Amino acid sequence: MSDQRIRDYQAFCERHGDWAIATVETLARLESPTTDKAAVDRCGDQLASRLRDLGARVTPLPQERAGDHLLAEMGEGESQVLLLGHFDTVWPVGQLDRMPLARKGTQLFGPGVFDMKGGIAIALLAARAVREVGAPNGRVAMLWTSDEETGSATSEPAILAHAARSAAVFVLEPSGPGGAVKTSRKGCGQFVLTVTGVSAHAGIEPERGASAVHELARQVVSLESLRDPEAGVTINVGQLHGGTRTNVVAEEARAMIDVRIRTAADASRIERGLSAIVANDPRTTVTVTGGFRPPLERTAEVLRLYEMAKEVAAQLGRELPEFATGGGSDGNLTASRGIPTLDGLGAVGEGAHALHEQIDASAIPWRAAMLAGLMARVIDG
Ligand SMILES: [Zn+2]
């Protein structure tokens, strides 16, 4: 990547920074909670029309319950990069009344600006820069999904299919502290442990009962033995449900469990441990259901992309730290299939999923220029 080319990207992105900020604001005004298909589709329609304005070929991927996902493609040729992200948010419709869009200095506040409508705007600006400054000889595909915040159940097949055709996947999720890219994300397991016991009157014939609640309490304590904080393995029982009344020996009880791991090996170990659980009281039965979103491991491929991004950032006069996070994203899916993935390339900011959610709007141009440079480097080899 010549210094001149990078400077051209930077100049273009600075000239059109206001357009990108307006894009963030427009998308944020179209509130898009994952579970509200009509609302998510309104946001998706606006995004699709902006993508068409860029000259992209846009293909909606219709969904019955979730919002329609959007595939957008630009350029021709063999080599392809995939820009990946989501336009659903965790915020309900009406949140704008509590968190109005506001600019204070260089900061832009509002629901979904950091996670991750700011990242979408960066990708769109980068795509414009690549097209107008001089398109590399290859394809830029973008996949914008509608259900990441609830685990990507309907988008996963499309994510894996388009990632498999790509030389690299760039994920526009929020950056880490100081604009860091994410080179490691924990895998996340969601499990339900259900105990079935035998109900009885707690006063008249308690001996005929086998309490699901008491059994569950023992199971919750012994789950702690699967933890390994040094290796980043954490287990959190976030919710308990069980029993009907104090004078009834409980027939059923459930624990909702969140597990985080750094490696696929630890995921297998935890899955084996959970499936080996047996009841302490043989009159009760214990079953465990659930599974993992795999980790994004800091592999050689991930590091190769990170080194490349650091070089491009340096050409822009920026430092690019790396960051490991316990939170997952769709980058976990693509990286776990061995497709080179770099995550956290989106906005600089803070407060994802929090009331103070905000981005540094002044960072949008260099983030977009960096992404343009990265795309060109991967596509041109
Ligand atoms: Zn996100």
Domain locations in the chain? 3-185+295-380, 187-293
Q: Please tell me the distance between residue 86's alpha carbon and the centre of ligand 1 in angstroms.
A: 7
Residue 345 exposed, middle or buried by CB count within 10 Å (0-12, 13-18, 19+): buried
pLDDT tens digit sequence for 264-282: 999 999 999 999 999 999 9
Tell me: cis bond preceding 142? Omega within 30 of 0 counts. Answer: no
Q: Please tell me the distance between residue 174's alpha carbon and the centre of ligand 1 in angstroms.
A: 7
Compute the average pLDDT of residues 287-314: 96
Q: Please tell me the distance between residue 353's alpha carbon and the centre of ligand 1 in angstroms.
A: 9
Q: Please tell me the distance between residue 328's alpha carbon and the centre of ligand 1 in angstroms.
A: 9
Q: Please tell me the distance between residue 253's alpha carbon and the centre of ligand 1 in angstroms.
A: 33
pLDDT tens digit sequence for 96-108: 999 999 999 999 9
pLDDT tens digit sequence for 14-70: 999 999 999 999 999 999 999 999 999 999 999 999 999 999 999 999 999 999 999
Q: Which residues are paired to 310 by β-bridges? A: none
Q: Please tell me the distance between residue 173's alpha carbon and the centre of ligand 1 in angstroms.
A: 5
Residue 380's pLDDT is what? 82
CATH top-level class of 3-185+295-380: alpha beta
Q: Are strands 285-293 and 187-196 parallel, antiparallel or unpaired?
A: antiparallel
Q: Please tell me the distance between residue 203's alpha carbon and the centre of ligand 1 in angstroms.
A: 51
User: In the structure encoding, which two tokens stand for residue 344, read together?
Assistant: 């956290």
Q: Among the residues of the chain, which ranges form H helices? A: 3-15, 17-29, 37-53, 95-98, 118-134, 156-164, 212-223, 264-275, 300-315, 330-336, 364-380
Q: How many residues does the chain have?
A: 381
Q: Please tell me the distance between residue 73's alpha carbon and the centre of ligand 1 in angstroms.
A: 22
Q: Please tell me the distance between residue 115's alpha carbon and the centre of ligand 1 in angstroms.
A: 5
Would you say domain 187-293 falls under CATH 3.30.70.360? yes
Ramachandran region, residue 146 (left: φ > 0; alpha: ψ -120 to 50; beta: rest): alpha
Question: What phi and psi values does residue 142 have, to the nearest 5 degrees?
Answer: -125, 135
